[in-house]
């Protein structure tokens, strides 16, 4: 899994608003703030997708180009970054970003999953791959799914194993897969 420290800021195409100093200060007007939170959510998801990051540590990420524009000498504060991730973790009907983040460490709010694809979405992508490649009724190891030659061209190749298991568990609940084996030796059969 990529850490927030393993990236090149020059390879990521930041949006134009990233060069606008007020973007780095959460706005007090509720309508303006709602738009700003959505834009931060989009930026965080795009950044994580580009760098194939599934989980971020706020302490590390706050010092990264994601939250700090060195050219402007502007940075989103740690508290404001938590506010953005809190908003991202809420469901759409609550005015959030549609659960595009999830706190890993509960109330500590120092580490969060970033769902540039939610586990339900990954489950759909994996199920489609199984269907398209004739993998039904075939047993594959989780390692093969994550690192095997057959999945090199797939977006999930090299995915954080916890995200893969969350996605596979959705397929299990839908009756489309069975996961078995001991830790580190798990296999999966698709139906």
Residue 21 pLDDT greater than 50, yes or no: yes
What the chain holds in terms of domains, given with CATH numbers, is: 9-114 (1.10.10.570), 119-190 (1.10.10.10)
Position 4 confidence tier, pLDDT thresholds 50, 70, 90: very low
What sign has the CA pseudo-torsion 188, 120, 161, 135?
positive
CA distances from 156 to 49, 129, 140, 173, 174 (A): 11, 11, 15, 20, 20
Ramachandran region of residue 106, left (φ > 0), alpha (ψ -120 to 50) or beta? Answer: left
Q: What is the pLDDT of residues 28-82, one digit of tens each?
A: 999 999 999 999 999 999 999 999 999 999 999 999 999 999 999 999 999 999 9
What are 123-165's pLDDT values in tens digits?
A: 999 999 999 999 999 999 999 999 999 999 999 999 999 999 9
Secondary structure class of 140 (helix, strand, coil): strand
Please tell me the predicted confidence (pLDDT) of residue 7. Answer: 52
Report pLDDT for 107.
85
Q: Which residues pair with 177 in a beta bridge?
A: 190
Cα–Cα distance, 53 to 3 (Å, whole number)? 7
Q: In which residue are the tokens 């809190």 written?
A: 86
CA distances from 40 to 10, 62, 155 (A): 19, 13, 23
């Amino acid at each position: 899994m990529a850490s927030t420290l393993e990236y090149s800021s020059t390879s990521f195409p930041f949006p134009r608003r990233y060069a606008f100093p007020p973007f780095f200060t959460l706005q007090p007007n509720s309508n303006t703030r709602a738009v700003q939170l959505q834009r931060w959510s989009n930026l965080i998801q795009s950044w994580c997708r580009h760098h194939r990051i599934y989980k971020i540590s706020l302490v590390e990420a706050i010092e990264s180009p994601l939250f700090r524009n060195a050219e402007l000498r502007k940075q989103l504060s740690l508290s404001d970054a938590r506010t953005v991730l809190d908003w991202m973790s809420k469901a759409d009907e609550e005015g959030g970003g549609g659960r595009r983040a999830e706190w890993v460490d509960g109330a500590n709010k120092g580490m969060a999953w970033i769902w540039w694809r939610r586990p339900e979405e990954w489950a759909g992508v994996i199920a489609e791959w199984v269907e398209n490649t004739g993998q039904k009724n075939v047993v594959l190891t989780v390692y093969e799914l994550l690192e095997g030659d057959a999945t090199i061209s797939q977006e999930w190749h090299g995915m954080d194993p916890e995200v893969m298991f969350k996605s596979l568990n959705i397929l299990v609940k839908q009756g489309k897969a069975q996961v078995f084996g001991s830790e580190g030796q798990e296999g999966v059969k698709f139906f």
